[in-house]
Amino acid sequence: MTEETTRALTILCCHIQEDEVLTHELALHLSVFRRLGSVQTISQRNISADEAWKNSIDQRIKEAHIILLSVTPAFLASQYCDGNEFRVILERHKQGKAHAIPVLLHPGPWKNSPMGELKALPAENRAVSDWYEINEGFVEVAKGVGKAIKLYNK
């Protein structure tokens, strides 16, 4: 695809408040895609936000092309993984309306969760926190997101 026909995509990063630091680091590694014009927006969805945000969050989920799920044991333990928003994300993924990607920030039993069928980043299901140099893990995630962007624009 030429640069003219490439769609600017929206990425939504879903995380819990305890993982704010790692999710912010992830967003920094993904910012290159926004500067290159292949991503229009990288927004963060803190799943512990109050109900006043619900309509705004529902809209973000409906508009997102790529949804990154910041996976940690705390994320897996949250009610979010059993909630309606999460089911909507998985349904949009199954329908091909969005691409949901678990991003393994810390090791946890994510394969036993509803997102267990999804392909996770970094490759080989090695959590970012398990890398000797954590930035290398984030670089691998960014490479995978870059591939997803290219696939989405085909």
Q: What is the pLDDT of residue 4?
A: 43
Positive or negative, the CA dihedral 33, 148, 69, 22 is: negative
Q: What is the pLDDT of residue 137?
A: 95
Contact of 69 with 102, CB cutoff 8 Å: yes
Confidence band of 106 (pLDDT split at 50, 70, 90): very high
Contact of 47 with 19, CB cutoff 8 Å: no
Between CA 153 and CA 152, with CA 100 as vertex, the angle to 5 degrees is: 5
Cis peptide before 114 (omega within 30 of 0): no
Mean pLDDT of 131-147: 94
For residue 94, the tally of other CB atoms under 10 A from its CB is 11
Q: How far is CA 129 from the centre of its chain?
A: 16
Domain boundaries defined on the chain? 3-152
Q: Which of 43-52, 112-121, 123-132 has the lowest mean pLDDT?
A: 43-52
Confidence band of 3 (pLDDT split at 50, 70, 90): very low
Record the tokens describing residue 136, joined without a space.
């290398």
Q: Is the pLDDT of residue 116 over 60?
A: yes
Q: What is the pLDDT of residue 61?
A: 84
Record the tokens describing residue 68, joined without a space.
């990154």
pLDDT digits (tens, 9 = 90+) for 42-98: 666 555 445 555 556 677 888 889 999 999 998 888 877 777 778 889 999 999 999
Kindly write down the DSSP assignment for every residue of 20-62, as one continuous string: HHHHHHHHHHHHHHHHTTSEEEEEEEETT--GGGHHHHHHHHH
Alpha carbons within 13 A on the beta-carbon side of 13: 28
Confidence band of 114 (pLDDT split at 50, 70, 90): confident
Global pTM exceeds 0.95: no
Residue with the two structure tokens 């705004």: 56
Phi, psi values for residue 104, rounded to 5° = -80, 100
Class of domain 3-152: alpha beta
In the chain, the percentage of residues whose pLDDT exceeds 70 is 83
